[in-house]
């Protein structure tokens, strides 16, 4: 298992269990996402969009009250991508209830099977919104 602390977290502040490798900033993180069985990430646009595009299963923790991450969470919910959890409500008792069923389902899948996302088709010419039309649904 790999824990990516990122550029802002001091790796020495993180207590990790044996068998977990900790890394700082990784410039091509999407390559790790493409190879992962399950990702646990914050609710930022880039990470969650990359995981959704790569059709990789993920659990995400948006920063509560953060406008952009709340918007991203609504979009992810609409596309049935990822599983949202709130940091303030996640306890050692709640985490296994959400995590283990996902992990068990993943371990029963054959490696050649990708997670199916129920995403609407995207036109090859781009957005279906016309100039002057805005939708925040």
* Tens of pLDDT, residues 21-45: 888 888 889 899 999 888 888 888 9
Q: pTM to 2 decimals?
A: 0.69
Q: Is residue 102 part of a domain?
A: yes
Q: Is residue 74 part of a domain?
A: yes
Q: In whole angstroms, how far apart are CA 54 and each of 31, 43, 68, 89, 135?
A: 10, 16, 22, 28, 25
Q: Is residue 64 part of a domain?
A: yes
Residue range of the domain that includes 70: 36-108
Q: Is residue 21 part of a domain?
A: no
How many domains would you assign to the chain?
Answer: 1
Q: Is residue 128 part of a domain?
A: no
Taking a C-beta distance cutoff of 8 angstroms, is the pair 57, 39 a contact? yes
- Average pLDDT, stretch 125-137? 47
């Amino acid at each position: 298992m790999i824990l990516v602390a990122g550029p802002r977290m001091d790796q020495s502040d993180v207590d990790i269990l044996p068998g977990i490798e900790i890394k700082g900033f990784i410039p091509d993180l999407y390559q790790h996402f493409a190879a992962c069985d399950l990702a646990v990430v914050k609710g930022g646009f880039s990470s969650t969009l990359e995981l959704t595009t790569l059709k990789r299963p993920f659990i995400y923790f948006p920063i509560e009250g953060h406008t952009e991450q709340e918007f991203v969470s609504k979009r992810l919910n609409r596309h049935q991508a990822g599983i949202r959890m709130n940091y303030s409500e996640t306890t050692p008792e709640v985490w296994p209830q959400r995590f283990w069923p996902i992990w068990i389902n993943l371990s029963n899948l054959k490696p050649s099977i990708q997670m199916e996302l129920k995403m609407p088709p995207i036109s090859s010419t781009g957005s279906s919104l016309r100039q002057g039309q805005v939708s925040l649904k």
